[in-house]
Amino acid sequence: MPTWMLEVKVMGPKSAPRAQGQKRALWAASLTSWREQTSGLRWAGSGLPSALRETQTSPASMLCLVIFAAHALGLAAAAQKAVLTLNPPWSTVFRGESVTLSCNGSRPPGSTPTSWCLEGYSWISTETNLQIKAAQMEDAGKYQCKTSDSTWSDHIELTVSSGWLILQAPHYAVFEGDRLLLRCRVRRGGEVYGMRYYRDGTEITPKPVQSSYTIDQAKTTDSGTYRCEGEILSGSLYFIRYSNEVLVLVQELFSTPELKVAGSAEAREESPLTLRCVTQPKPWTSDLQLQYSFCKSSMIVRGPESSPVHHIPAASLADSGPYFCVVQTVTSSVRKQSPEQGIKVKRVPVSGVTLGVQPRNGQVVAGERLVLNCSVAAGTGPLTFSWHWEGSGLALRTETLHSRRMDYEIPAATESDAGEYYCAASNGHNRVLSPRVTVTVWVPVTGANIIRDKPELVLTVGESLNLSCSVQAGTDAAFRWLHNAQELDVASGLGLLSPVGHVLYVESVQLGHAGNYQCIASNQFSLERVFQASSEILAVTVREDASTWVAVGVTVTLLCLVGATVAAVVCVRRHQKAEEICFTAWWRSTPGPVQQEPPAHGLLPPATLGSSELELEYANVCPQEQTSSDVVYSVVSIQKGSGAKPTGTSQMDNGHLVTYAALCSPKPSWDSATKVRASEVGDQSKSDIYETITHL
């Protein structure tokens, strides 16, 4: 609070003391009226102080209007205020005690005067200290001083007492955290008993009782009117005496802090939360340094430090509770606590649960890594994730952590891992399921194999052929057929082949269907990844039907019979004409060409066979059993005619040239032919191939 000072200078010549007295009387009347209007201030008795009485004032400084402090009006804001102190530092003294006032302020070099003021009277002195020796009642009052380069100091009110007890308090302003010392003194020569202290009428006597009352760290609540009392021994009697009252005002450094929450006191979990400790330093504490602490339920969560802000990046349920802040000076001499502020952090429900798959399309090759990641769009934790498969009633895995995403990994997927999956997320507040995701495990083709419908692959023309291709494993396998390393299709040159998928069917095989067959199975996972498996090569043999050869043999036999019949007719006719001999050998169990040796005559040269002098006769040697139609061999007799003998030939009597038709063998001879005939009794199937054997 600024100090207002009324300065009156009495001006006039030295030769006019009466006028000076009149002016003083006028000033006293004005001063009395002003005192009544400012009843809150203390005033000393009338008259000039002894220090002033010893000083001669010039007539020019005798009378002036009191002007209140210029610094309060802001006229000398640039200048610093002087500081006035007392030694000893008590503002109340007994009459007759000494006290020294010192003025400290900015001044230029050299000896400069100091201005003093007491209750409106001012004077100039070259001394920076004002000594009051043996203080009297008129020395009481409010003192101020200033230097040439400073403004008026704050006033100090000096009280001079003539009573038995005085209560001494510091003359300077007391701030929060300062040490406050009050002394209760008895006049010289007296002795006090049963000393007691009071503040605002309430006893505050310390124990044990002491002559002084000390407050180590003053608070604003220590402000009030103090007095002391005690029993004074006077002669043989004790009298209770009371001291003067002293008003002690402990000035506040800063206001009581208030804890403020940015936004609302109800915060969402995992959202930022900011607390601010707000206080207002007083104007006279511009250089005051403060520290801030934040507490929750009497536990310090941050500080002390210079920042008045406490920021929680992501609030959790554990951050809920009562908070307050504490503001203190650097020395901790002053410490103030804000009222509590309740903060509630609300849990955010789980929402937006999704299940992602890697590979992204949900298709994975068997043996490769499959990852299912479960994530939530909103929801505060800790979150509990679980993964589920359509074929299992239990969760594949359950995990709890402070995260909005969690992965479930299958290091090597198998075909049994295919199917629908979903995940669930919960935070104790609610539980949400994700949409279902289909996972396909793509198995590469392996183990291609051809399955045939016949144990033997030697086929006869006209039979059917049915081959199928299978794989040991494989997803969506496609099949191709190769014939002699050439791919088959419906439009192939072998029109009867019909490869359809894994089946190759030939309704009627032909000789061209013989050869090597192979199937190739493949499946395609992507444009870049194609899997293929080839079967072993399967050889197929096709031969003509045996019935065809039988038909040819029957045809030849019939032709032979016809020829033999014709030959027999011719033979009969020629026999009648030329007395030719035709004989027939009947079937026996052991006969053979060896037993039918012709006479040992020399044979005609081959050149004579075509001669007209020789006439040919034919006869068939047939089995004795008439039920058999097989021709074993034929005998052709060549007999000389009536013509002359060819020159150079030997004489033949009944000469013969015999040609046999016998079963075919690797190198047939007469002996082998006999064996062939003997085998025909047990195996008729070996008599279907013949060859002609000539025996001379």
**Mean pLDDT within 467-481:** 89
Strands 180-186 vs 212-215: parallel, antiparallel or unpaired: antiparallel
684 located within any domain:
no
Whole-angstrom distance, CA of residue 627 vs CA of residue 592? 19
| Same domain as 504, residue 398 | no
- Of 390 and 141, the structure prediction assigns the larger pLDDT to 141
| Same domain as 319, residue 202 | no
**pLDDT in the model for residue 552:** 62
Choosing from 442, 467, 493, the residue where a domain stops is 442
Any idea which of 282-291, 459-468, 673-682 has the lowest mean pLDDT? 673-682
360 located within any domain:
yes
Q: Categorize the per-residue pLDDT at 528 as very low, low, confident or very high, splitting at 50, 70 and 90.
A: confident
**Mean pLDDT within 202-222:** 88
Q: Categorize the per-residue pLDDT at 381 as very low, low, confident or very high, splitting at 50, 70 and 90.
A: confident
Q: In terms of pTM, does the model score above 0.95?
A: no
Q: 517 is in which domain, residue-wise?
A: 446-543
Spatial neighbors of 66 by CB under 8 A, at least 6 apart, are 5, 6, 7, 8, 120
| Same domain as 153, residue 107 | yes
pLDDT reading at 40 higher than 70: no
356-395 in b/e form (b: 16+ CB < 10 A) is bbebeebbbbbeeebebbbbbeebbbebbbbbbbeeeeee
| Same domain as 423, residue 465 | no
Any idea which of 274-283, 399-408, 546-555 has the lowest mean pLDDT? 546-555
How high is the mean pLDDT of the chain? 74
Into how many domains does the chain fold?
4
**Mean pLDDT within 377-386:** 88
The tens digit of pLDDT for each residue in 71-115 reads 334 444 457 889 999 999 998 999 999 999 999 888 877 767 899
Tokens of 670: 């007469």
| Same domain as 432, residue 304 | no
370 located within any domain:
yes
pLDDT reading at 481 higher than 70: yes
617 located within any domain:
no
**pLDDT in the model for residue 64:** 33
74 located within any domain:
no
User: What is 125-178 written as a DSSP string?
Assistant: ES-SEEEESS--GGG-EEEEEE-TTEEPPPPEEEEEE-SSEEEE-BSS-EETT-
Q: Report how far Cα 590 is from the mean position of its chain's Cα atoms.
A: 103
557 located within any domain:
no
Most confidently modeled range among 395-404, 431-440, 487-496:
431-440
CB 259, CB 339: distance < 8 Å: yes
**Mean pLDDT within 155-177:** 89
Tokens of 408: 């479930």
CATH number for position 298:
2.60.40.10
**pLDDT in the model for residue 636:** 53
The tens digit of pLDDT for each residue in 562-576 reads 888 887 777 777 666
Q: Categorize the per-residue pLDDT at 250 as very low, low, confident or very high, splitting at 50, 70 and 90.
A: very high
pLDDT reading at 263 higher than 50: yes
**pLDDT in the model for residue 547:** 65
pLDDT reading at 305 higher than 90: yes
User: How many residues in total does the chain contain?
Assistant: 696
DSSP state, residue 595: G
| Same domain as 234, residue 172 | yes
Choosing from 407, 442, 477, the residue where a domain stops is 442
What are the φ and ψ backbone dihedral angles of 676, each rounded to 5 degrees?
-65, -45
| Same domain as 287, residue 231 | no
| Same domain as 229, residue 130 | yes
What are the φ and ψ backbone dihedral angles of 12, each rounded to 5 degrees?
160, 165
Q: Report how far Cα 472 is from the mean position of its chain's Cα atoms.
A: 40
Q: Categorize the per-residue pLDDT at 4 as very low, low, confident or very high, splitting at 50, 70 and 90.
A: very low
pLDDT reading at 10 higher than 50: no
Whole-angstrom distance, CA of residue 591 vs CA of residue 515? 46
**pLDDT in the model for residue 52:** 42
| Same domain as 501, residue 393 | no
pLDDT reading at 674 higher than 60: no
The tens digit of pLDDT for each residue in 613-646 reads 444 454 554 444 444 444 455 555 555 444 444 4
**pLDDT in the model for residue 546:** 64
| Same domain as 339, residue 234 | no
Choosing from 235, 251, 267, the residue where a domain stops is 251
**Mean pLDDT within 302-328:** 92
Q: Categorize the per-residue pLDDT at 612 as very low, low, confident or very high, splitting at 50, 70 and 90.
A: very low
| Same domain as 172, residue 102 | yes
Within 10 A of 654 (CB to CB), how many other CB atoms are there? Answer: 11
| Same domain as 229, residue 151 | yes
Give the helix ranges, DSSP H, for 359-398: none
**Mean pLDDT within 281-288:** 83
Q: What are the residues facing 151 on neighbouring strands?
A: 81
**Mean pLDDT within 340-359:** 91
Q: Categorize the per-residue pLDDT at 227 as very low, low, confident or very high, splitting at 50, 70 and 90.
A: very high
Q: Categorize the per-residue pLDDT at 302 as very low, low, confident or very high, splitting at 50, 70 and 90.
A: very high
179 located within any domain:
yes
